[in-house]
Amino acid sequence: MTNSKWLQLDEKAQNILIKNDRGGFTVPTAGLYPYQWNWDSAFAGWGFSTFDIERAWQELESLFAGQWNNGMVPHILFRSNDPDYFPGPDVWGTEQCGPISSSGISQPPVAATFVRAIWEKDKTIGNNRLKKIFPKLKAWHKWFMTWRLTDRNCIFISHPWEAGRDNSPDWDNAMNPVGVGKYTRRDTSHVDGSMRPTQEDYDRYLWLVQRGRKLKWDEELMSVNRPFEVADPTMTFILLRASRDLLYMAEALDVDNIEISEWCSTLREGIETLRNPDGGFFNAINCRTDEHSGNITSASFLNWYAGIDDDETLKILTKTLEETRYPIPSLSINSEKFDGMRYWRGPTWVVLNSLVGIGLSEMGYIAEATLLRKRTQSLILEKGFAEYFHPLNGTPGGGDSFTWTAAVWLAWASPSNGEY
Ligand code: GLC
């Protein structure tokens, strides 16, 4: 890639972040996702930190402005009511729970890791900001350890949207909705239905929202006879990684770190229980039935990001890199459920690539990390800043001018970041 080519892309990516800025927070993309999403915002902050540190902090701070009294940071903050999105604030019914109208569930906690990255870029600006946001990050992690820890010591999700991998086949066998009633989806008016979750998936999403609403989003009440509880590698690896970063920041701030250090040990222990007994890879487990999903997803490769080396997984990753032109597919291309354009059932999401790539390089797998990063560069160069891409031919899917794809370009994929 020539120098001028990638500098042009850097500029384009910056403009996407600026265009998706709604005044101190970004939306993932105009139209399809008109509000502030949790992990999208954390990625956006990471992206902003490459050209505007002040704006990077603002992004994270605006996300934590929506933190609930119980510590949870919601997966969507509805700062306005946009009738073009469903299910909006009136469907969630969380009025009593937090300072900003929001959804009632959370999303993968990548925030602490990106806060650390932003802080380390410029500590003279960052020290004070870190001091303020640190207790909020800690309260959120505590919420996960209190309300989302399974007895296997890994993290479960209470709704498919919580994992950020909405329609992954990991949840296929984990629930049976009844009596959802009539509703109108809005997502399929923005992008083709063949790229979105099915109607059956949507019934399940809504059914769980209706249950939460009925129970007033009270975690204590919701924990009784949960109809959906799936131990998830995305959440477990990401929370472990983020807790390690939190621990590092606690030490730098010279504040008590015992509890955080215990969380890290607990999660470290839990990881092994996610291993599929037949395939050796890390997968999701339906906690109601103890059934392993048997799916190799992009989340199966997050172990290095969490600081865990694993030979079995390395073999599978090497094969995946060999057989896929634009890795990493969100579901193995050899799965019978593989569907290259349907959201989390096959497409490549560059956000996951960046996390896996960071982990690989940190643990010394430079060849694999470089390959993954170079393929991600070509993908974005050839196909643009789409929401996700077909892993075999790179066809762009979902929304366009996507915030987190631009952010990942700026903070990780762009050659402007140098070599590993
Ligand atoms: C979809 C994705 C989720 C993301 C959101 C906004 O729901 O599955 O991970 O946060 O869109 O981009």
pLDDT tens-digit map of 52-67: 999 999 999 999 999 9
Q: Tell me the C-alpha distance between 4 and 2, whole Å.
A: 6
Average pLDDT over residues 39-61: 98
Task: Spell out which residues line ligand 1, taking CB within 6 angstroms.
Answer: 28, 33, 37, 39-40, 164, 166
Q: Ligand 1 mean position to 311 CA, how many Å? A: 31
Q: What is the pLDDT of residue 273?
A: 98
Q: Tell me the C-alpha distance between 38 and 376, whole Å.
A: 23
Better-scored residue on pLDDT, 181 or 352: 352
What three-state secondary structure class fits 275?
strand
What's the DSSP call for residue 286?
E
| Nearest-atom index, ligand 1, CA of 343 | 8
DSSP alpha helices (H): ranges in 165-277?
Answer: 199-214, 219-222, 233-253, 258-271
Q: What is the pLDDT of residue 401?
A: 98
Write out the catalytic residue numbers. Answer: 166, 387
pLDDT at 155 over 70: yes
9 band by pLDDT with thresholds 50, 70 and 90: very high
Q: Tell me the C-alpha distance between 301 and 318, whole Å.
A: 11
Name the residue with the closest Cα to ligand 1, atom 9: 164
pLDDT at 364 over 80: yes
Q: Ligand 1 mean position to 294 CA, how many Å? A: 23
Q: Ligand 1 mean position to 343 CA, how many Å? A: 10
pLDDT in tens, 59-105: 999 999 999 999 999 999 999 888 889 999 999 999 989 999 999 99
223 band by pLDDT with thresholds 50, 70 and 90: very high
Q: What is the pLDDT of residue 420?
A: 80
Q: What is the pLDDT of residue 184?
A: 87
17, 35, 37, best to mutate for ligand 1 pocket (most atoms within 8 Å of CB): 37
pLDDT in tens, 92-145: 999 989 999 999 999 999 999 999 999 999 999 999 999 999 999 999 999 999
pLDDT at 177 over 80: no
239 band by pLDDT with thresholds 50, 70 and 90: very high
Q: Tell me the percentage of the chain whose pLDDT exceeds 70.
A: 100
| Nearest-atom index, ligand 1, CA of 402 | 12
Which of 307, 309, 308, 332 is CA-nearest to residue 319? 332
399 band by pLDDT with thresholds 50, 70 and 90: very high
Average pLDDT over residues 317-329: 98
Bridge partners of residue 397, in order along the sequence: 388
Q: Ligand 1 mean position to 39 CA, how many Å? A: 8
| Nearest-atom index, ligand 1, CA of 75 | 10
Q: Which residues contact 37 (CB under 8 A, 6 or more apart)?
A: 27, 28, 75, 76, 107
Q: Tell me the percentage of the chain whose pLDDT exceeds 90.
A: 90
39, 40, 78, best to mutate for ligand 1 pocket (most atoms within 8 Å of CB): 40
Q: Ligand 1 mean position to 164 CA, how many Å? A: 6
Average pLDDT over residues 142-164: 98
| Nearest-atom index, ligand 1, CA of 164 | 9
1 band by pLDDT with thresholds 50, 70 and 90: low
Which contiguous run of DSSP H or E holds residue 285? strand 285-286
Average pLDDT over residues 374-386: 97
Q: Is the dihedral of CA 365, 370, 373, 375 positive or negative?
A: negative
Q: What is the pLDDT of residue 261?
A: 98
Name the residue with the closest Cα to ligand 1, atom 2: 164
The alpha carbon of residue 298 and the mean position of all alpha carbons in its chain are separated, in whole angstroms, by: 11
Q: Is the dihedral of CA 25, 29, 31, 35 positive or negative?
A: negative
pLDDT in tens, 240-272: 999 999 999 999 999 999 999 999 999 999 999
| Mean pLDDT, the chain, integer | 96
Residue 15: other Cβ atoms inside 10 A = 13
Q: What angle do helix axes 3-19 and 38-48 make, rounded to 10 degrees?
A: 130
Q: Do residues 382 and 7 touch, judged by C-beta distance below 8 A?
A: no
Name the residue with the closest Cα to ligand 1, atom 4: 164
